[in-house]
Amino acid sequence: MTEKRKQEKTNTSNENKRAEGMKRRTVLKALAGVPVAGLLGFEILRKTNYEADKRKQIVRELGLDDIEFPKMDYGNAKPSGDLIRLGFIGFGTRARQLSHALGFMHPTDTESWKKRKLLNDWLQQEYLNVAITGICDVFDEHAQNGIDTASNKVRPGGDGAAALPVKRYRTYHEMLADDSIDAVLIATPDHHHARIAIDAAKAGKHIYCEKSVALKEDELNELYETVKQSGVVFQLGHQITQSIVFKQAKEIIKRNLLGKITLVETTSNRNTASGAWIRHLDAKGNPKPGNEQTIDWKQWLGEAPYAPFSADRYYNWTKWFDYDSGMIGQLFTHEFDAVNQLLRIGIPKSVMSSGGIYYWKDNREMPDSLHCVFEYPDKDLTLMYSGNLASSRGRGRVFMGHDGSMELGNNAIITADRNSTRYAEGIQSGVIDPSAPMISFNPEAGQIDAVSSASERYYASRGLTTTTVNGRRIDVTHLHVREWINCIRNGNEPSANIEMAYEEGIACIMAHQSYVEKRMVQWDEVNRKIV
Amino acid sequence: MKYETNYTKLQTYSLVLLRWLIGWHILYEGIAKLLNPDWSSLGFLQQAQGIMSGFAGWVTSHPTVLSTVDFLNTWGLIAIGVGLLLGICARTAAWAGAILVFTYYLTCPPLIGVEYARPVDGNNLIVDKTLFESIALVVLAVFPTSAVVGLDAIIQRLRTRRNGGVK
């Protein structure tokens, strides 16, 4: 071996050594990220355990270990049973909304919903296997809107959806006499509701009736008896209790998490002309259509005292007591239903109302500031209602108990009371913080959110406009009409049945009477009448 | 994929530290979404303003598109996070991350007169932490370190060896 070759060999082995050494270092450096990833994994595990523990602690403290929330079958059911043929009595704004809930939309609405990117969501709505085959309205334009809506082929169910001819009826009597109508939706001004519903029940038609159910006690009694005897499925037009949050709130009440509830406060605030029922002008400020030639005024008045035709009365009927009971009939009805569905309070022992016309000083009879106190001495409970049409400050709907309170809107926020007996230990030990919501229900999540982070707390304090079922946003009115349709098919009782409607109707008539007569109104339970 | 670096040690390790921190953040964002079965981008997308609002509206109005976006987003974040943290295809991960995070920024940019119902982290005017993160990812893509600290070092070496030994 020459010196040169020896030298080369040494060089090579040195290089190899260097290469091996570099390899070890390279591998070590290459893997340097692994322990960092391991640390992240460890921290994630710690965080998950911590949150699970904290949640478990609160859940155990509240006895919610075994809580189960009703899973809705929404969207799973295939359209079942026979096609149900529906007739609309009254086709104004509310009827348009009800049509949407049933799966029908006016062509101009389909266009605007498409532009607002809402149409696709709506087309995913469950197909109810119903057809609107009859429209009755005293105003030609509204009747035509109804026909166009019922005939529009752009709808959930697509081409498979039933397409039947749509007929216009001049009077609701004609519609009720027609055997090809199975069920009716009553969406007229309120003074017609009870009379039409009574006649519909007599004709054996199932009824979806918008609130208020009745303006007069004798009409309400007659309706109650007639529906009871006829066996038709009656649903009063409320929708908020269909929200998934309501079903969760029901569980909270059932488990007595709030302790003894002695006060429920309900409110409604609005601050617009439209919110104060001034609606005879369109968006551009021009008078809406309609005159004595196109509106059957005599039929519109019905059994109400005669008044000459005016667009003001036609569009803004809520302002007069002949057609409605103002905020009680339009707004408090929903509040009463919400509370009654949760607490089954029934008819109050007494009602005292007061208020006045303090802001909208037009020709109205209805007060724009109104406060009613409903007493339930047998249940140790006061229900309060306070409404105002000149401030839009949100005041919520709050159930107040000794151990906690629940604010219930589109979400439910439960806060422990700082002087609660039940949670005293939990508050002392720091598990429960009475200054922040103890539990909230996130309707988007559909589960208890016991550990409320800052952002979750924030969401809970806001409202959501629709409910979420199995991850889909659903219109609550759709769920309400769907329940009615399902009950027609399977003979079950809907949630806002005639019993609930009767209790609500009596409570509202008492509140209205108290305002008008400026005195406390009582319920005579023995003779079942208002005194 | 081979690239040479001539950074000083301090430069290298500063960049590696930045890569790890962003990798950690992005990986945890992905895993947190994976661990929460109720997570959805719906709320975020509903808030969309500006040039992304049309796209966001399209996504939210199609349930299948929304769930696809949710799936891709969650796993995309996880893949990018792992790439940055362990240094696997770190340059690609950094570019992908920069683009993804920049779309978040574009969806809800803190512009004057644009308001969001969602809680905002800190006080932001045009520039926010999302924009920072996106640009930091661009920096990481332009100044790669995974061939020194990261599994890319091994990958690169194996590849070089296959192509005819150390040169």
Band (pLDDT 50/70/90 cuts) for residue A468 is low
Residue A504 lies in a domain: yes
Residue A462 pLDDT grade (very low, low, confident, very high; cuts 50, 70, 90): very low
Sign of torsion, CA A480 A469 A67 A462?
A: negative
Statement to judge: residues A234 and A254 lie in one domain: no
Which band of pLDDT confidence, cut at 50, 70 and 90, is reported for residue B1?
very low
pLDDT of residue B149: 92
Q: Considering Cα of A288, then A362, then A393, then A264, what sign does the dihedral take? A: negative
- Higher-confidence position of A10 and B23: B23
Residue A229's pLDDT band (cuts 50, 70, 90): very high
Which value, in Å, is the radius of gyration of the alpha carbons in chain B?
A: 18
One domain for residues A342 and A457: yes
Does one domain contain both A290 and A424? yes
Q: What is the number of domains present in chain A?
A: 2
| Averaged pLDDT, A330-351 | 95
Summarize pLDDT for B92-135 with one digit per residue, the tens. Answer: 999 999 999 999 999 888 888 877 766 677 888 899 999 999 99
The reply to whether A234 and A289 lie within a common domain is no
pLDDT at position A456: 43
User: Is A426 inside any structural domain?
Assistant: yes
Among B61, B85, B154, the strongest candidate for a mutation testing the A interface, having the largest count of A CBs within 10 A, is B61
Residues A375 and A451 in one domain: yes
Any idea where the domains of chain B sit in the sequence? 9-162
Of the pLDDT bands very low, low, confident and very high (cuts 50, 70, 90), residue B61 is confident
Which of the listed residues A190, A210, A238 is the one where a domain comes to its end?
A: A238
Same domain, A271 and A404: yes
Q: How far is the CA of B90 from the CAs of A34, A460, B145, B157, in angstroms? A: 14, 40, 8, 15
Are A331 and A429 found together in one domain? Answer: yes
CA–CA separation, A101 and A108 (whole Å): 16
Q: Is residue A58 part of a domain?
A: no
Residues of chain B contacting A32 with CB distance shorter than 8 Å = 16, 149-150
The pLDDT assigned to A314 comes to 97
Residues of B with Cβ-Cβ distance to A34 under 8 angstroms: 86
Same domain, A312 and A453: yes
- Cβ separation A30–B16 shorter than 8 A: no
Q: Say if residue A439 is in the same domain as residue A505.
A: yes
Query: What number of CA atoms fall less than 13 Å from residue A121's CA on the CB side?
Result: 22
Regarding whether A305 and A206 lie in a shared domain, the answer is no
Q: Is B85 at the interface with chain A, CB within 8 A?
A: yes
Own/partner pairs, A218-226, CB within 8 angstroms, 24+ separation: A219/A194, A219/A195, A220/A194, A220/A502, A220/A505, A220/A506, A220/A509, A222/A194, A222/A198, A223/A194, A223/A197, A223/A198, A223/A498, A224/A498, A224/A501, A224/A502, A226/A198, A226/A201, A226/A202
pLDDT score recorded for residue A154: 93
CATH number of the structural domain spanning residue A185: 3.40.50.720
Region A300-307 average pLDDT = 96
Quickly state the pLDDT bin for A2 (edges 50, 70, 90).
low
Mutation target to probe the B interface, by most B beta carbons within 10 A, among A12, A25, A31 is A31
Domain that holds residue A412: 242-473+497-530
**Contact B85/A124, CB-based, under 8 Å?**
no
CA of A115, closest CA in chain B: separation in Å? 11
Select from A238, A255, A283 the last residue of a domain: A238
Per mean pLDDT, which range of A207-211, A257-261, A429-433, A477-481 is the poorest? Answer: A429-433
| Residue A28 domain-assigned (yes or no) | no
Q: How confident is the model at residue A73 (pLDDT cuts 50, 70, 90)?
A: confident
Q: Is the dihedral of CA A220, A223, A227, A229 positive or negative?
A: positive
Question: Chain A residue with minimal CA distance to B58?
Answer: A117
CB-CB under 8 Å, A32 with B35 = no
